[in-house]
Amino acid sequence: MKTFTIDADNNITVHATRKAVRETGAGVFDTEEQIAELIGPDNKRLLEIWNSLPGETPVGFSPFISRIDLASCP
């Protein structure tokens, strides 16, 4: 199973194994639930991550937007 890290600048990196991740010092995740825990309730950070994804349509910030709303974005 691939393991991912996310750093303070929202850079997401894929790693072949958890062993390769140990030395990065970044937040580690391999499920949607784990990245949600790392991001926390900060919807602004979630929007920044989404808007940085290549090929995705950027979305604007609204205090009413939720993680479920973003999960349903194309």
Q: What is the pLDDT, as a whole number, of residue 4? A: 92
Single pTM value for the model: 0.66
pLDDT digits (tens, 9 = 90+) for 2-28: 889 999 898 899 988 888 787 788 899
CA distances to 14, 17, 20, 23, 68 from 53, rounded to whole Å, are 14, 23, 23, 25, 18
Taking only the tens place, the pLDDT of each residue in 34-72 is 988 988 887 788 888 888 888 888 887 665 555 555 555
Q: According to the model, what pLDDT value does residue 18 have?
A: 80
pLDDT at 44: 82
User: Cα(49)–Cα(1) distance, rounded to whole angstroms?
Assistant: 22
